[in-house]
Structure 1
Amino acid sequence: MKIDPLRGPRTQSVKRKEQSGAAGSAFADALTGGSEPAAHTAAAPGVAALDALLTLQQAPDALSGRAKARKRGEQLLDELDRVRVGLLLGRIPLAGLRRLQVLLGEARPQSEDRRVEQVLAEIETRAAVELAKLGR
């Protein structure tokens, strides 16, 4: 077989049979506007999309607990660092001790990650020890 680069591939045209029947005519009627859909079915996709959006908003985010725990740990470490710097300078920062005490008094956010929970517990223990050493 010889391939001519100037001529494209030869294709045969396919003729389709006209289908008659319930499925074919109903589809054709819907395309031409022969049958009007009910008013409630037109609004259904909008309601379904809204329902899906509300469901997603209500679903708990696995990272939100971890992110809150991380933020709490960072806040505690920042306050501990301020206390350490204050001790090195020879003056105990009372405002930092109060903030540390308030942070320890707040409820700890729960995380699904056991390692995050363990690290946060160690940070809180260290902060409590520092407060106890400084007489608070």
Structure 2
Amino acid sequence: MRIYGSNGPTFGAPASNARRAGSSGFSLPDAAETSEARSTSAPKTVGNIDALLALQGVEDPLERRKRSFKRGKTALDVLDDLKIGLLTGELNASTVQRLRTAAADLKTVSGDPGLDAVLSEIELRVEVELAKAGQF
């Protein structure tokens, strides 16, 4: 069966001249028009290095809380080491030094009132143990 008409195959039919006449080919727009149309401006930069450093200094509250939580956990671990050292009779100076470092680290504020309350109680306990260790 052969199909004739607009839906049928067009073997060897030349393309319409109307389509060819309308498009003369690829051409670039005039370079003078594009440069005048867009005005170029310098990229915006930060005025000085202090602003960049200030941006880097901004910390996430979640990160601050995580660091405070880690400091509290470290202080509790050192208190456990101190307890074990006292029970075994092998209290050494490195444990006391680690306890002093932990006490100094606990002084920073996390921003979370509940966590700060727990950290202040841990700090109080560390200070008491440091005072006791000073008697030996």
Stretches of structure 1 that go unaligned for 5 or more consecutive residues are: 1-31, 49-53
Q: Which residue of 2 aligns with 1:79?
A: 78
Shift of 1:116: 0.8
Stretches of structure 2 that go unaligned for 5 or more consecutive residues are: 1-28, 47-51
> 1:61-117: per-residue Cα shift (whole Å, max 9, x none)?
112321221122122112111111112222212210122123323572221100110
Partner-residue secondary structure (3-state), 1:38 = coil
Q: Percent identity?
A: 34
Q: Which residue of 2 aligns with 1:40?
A: 41
Shift of 1:56: 5.9
Normalized per residue, which structure has more helix?
A: 1
Q: Which amino acid aligns with 2:39?
A: A
- Map 1:1-136 to 2 at 5 A: 34-36=33-35, 37-40=38-41, 43=43, 57-106=56-105, 108-135=107-134
> 1:30-83: per-residue Cα shift (whole Å, max 9, x none)?
xx6743322217x45xx59xxxxx586453311232122112212211211111
TM-score normalised per structure 2: 0.57
Distance 1:123 1:107 in 2: 8
Q: Which residue of 2 aligns with 1:15?
A: none
- Alignment RMSD, CA only? 2.7
For the 8 Å contact 2:106–2:119, the answer to whether it is kept is no
Partner-residue secondary structure (3-state), 1:115 = helix
Distance 1:115 1:38 in 2: 56
Distance 1:61 1:106 in 2: 19
Q: Which amino acid aligns with 2:91?
A: I
Q: Which residue of 2 aligns with 1:20?
A: none
For the 8 Å contact 1:68–1:109, the answer to whether it is kept is no
